[in-house]
Amino acid sequence: MRILLTNDDGVHAPGLFALKEAIAEVAEIGIVAPDRPRSASGHSITLHKPLRVSSVRLADGSPAYSCTGTPSDCVALALRGVLPFTPDLVISGINDGPNLGWDLTYSGTVSAAMEACIIGVPSIAISAVRMNDYPFVKDEPELPFAERKGTDFGAAARFAAHLAVVLHEHRLPPFNLLNVNVPAIPTGELRGVKLTKQGIRKYVGELETRTDTSGRTYYWMGGEKPEDVLEEGTDVSALHARQISVTPIHMDLTAYPIMDALHQWTHIEAFGG
């Protein structure tokens, strides 16, 4: 089995290193990842400037490639010639933080997996979630930033290796990927694995207007932490219950349930005659 690893946190991110350590036990690996953090980059592709790829060494001296582009660029370059082999699977992660609900529309981690899916290679996006950093876990107080420890990627890395073996035996259908969120807690504290649907995660955005030292206006986007809807069977709900969520995602974004209703809006199809 041959697997391409990538991420959106950068080639030297600890989550990618943890993933590399686990996947190397079950497969031959190649790594192509951004040269710096690219979180929330979405599914952007670089068309207006050249891309550069450099050979780098990870913390243990193992080889990897860094790319000046986005996570989606990394996958496109890897699958179209940068890697010396064609992978059987692409794994994007381990993201430091959740990719739940509507996060998928922003996530560079998930978008890298989507790019592989579009090209025709099965893929997984995997994220590790610190349980006391997110408001849907009501019984664990949020820690001040200075008191937070590094994310524990152990459970996510081991589950990624397990899932890679499963997908080597049972190939995903075309244009499908798996989005996985793993509580960043010891494996013994996990409460199982849940197959889920995409939930709802609302962001309460704010726009701050500021002035720089030259008197020019600039803006800083931010806001409160997201509001999660704890609907049974969703990825958000599974994380709340300390379960690993595995959500199948299809590249077909068509809203089939409203097709019949739209057909009744006759003035749409009546345009031009």
Q: What is the DSSP-derived secondary structure letter of residue 198?
A: -
The residue-averaged pLDDT of 9-34 equals 97
Residue 155 near residue 190, CB atoms below 8 Å: yes
Cα dist from 1 to 29, 91, 113, 119, whole Å: 9, 13, 18, 18
Mean pLDDT over each residue of the chain, to the nearest integer:
89
- pTM of the predicted structure, to 2 decimals: 0.90
Q: What is the DSSP-derived secondary structure letter of residue 1?
A: -
Position 142 pLDDT exceeds 70: no
Position 90 pLDDT exceeds 70: yes
Position 171 pLDDT exceeds 80: yes
SS3 call for 241:
coil
Question: What confidence tier does 222 reach under pLDDT thresholds 50, 70, 90?
Answer: confident
What is the token pair recorded at 147? 């008191």
Question: What confidence tier does 202 reach under pLDDT thresholds 50, 70, 90?
Answer: confident
Q: Please state which of the ranges 5-14, 59-68, 84-93, 255-264 shows the lowest mean pLDDT.
A: 255-264
Position 145 pLDDT exceeds 60: no
pLDDT of 137 reads: 52
Phi, psi of 220 (to 5 degrees): -130, 120
- How large a percentage of the chain has pLDDT more than 90? 71
pLDDT (tens digit, 9 = 90+) per residue, 31-62?
999 999 998 888 999 999 999 999 999 999 99
How far, rounded to the nearest angstrom, does the alpha carbon of residue 44 sit from its chain's CA centroid?
A: 14
Chain position carrying tokens 């209703």: 261
Position 136 pLDDT exceeds 80: no
Position 234 pLDDT exceeds 50: yes
The residue-averaged pLDDT of 18-42 equals 95
Question: What confidence tier does 149 reach under pLDDT thresholds 50, 70, 90?
Answer: low
The residue-averaged pLDDT of 182-190 equals 90
pLDDT of 269 reads: 64
Residue 242: CA count within 13 A, CB half-sphere: 13
Residue 70: CA count within 13 A, CB half-sphere: 23
Position 86 pLDDT exceeds 60: yes
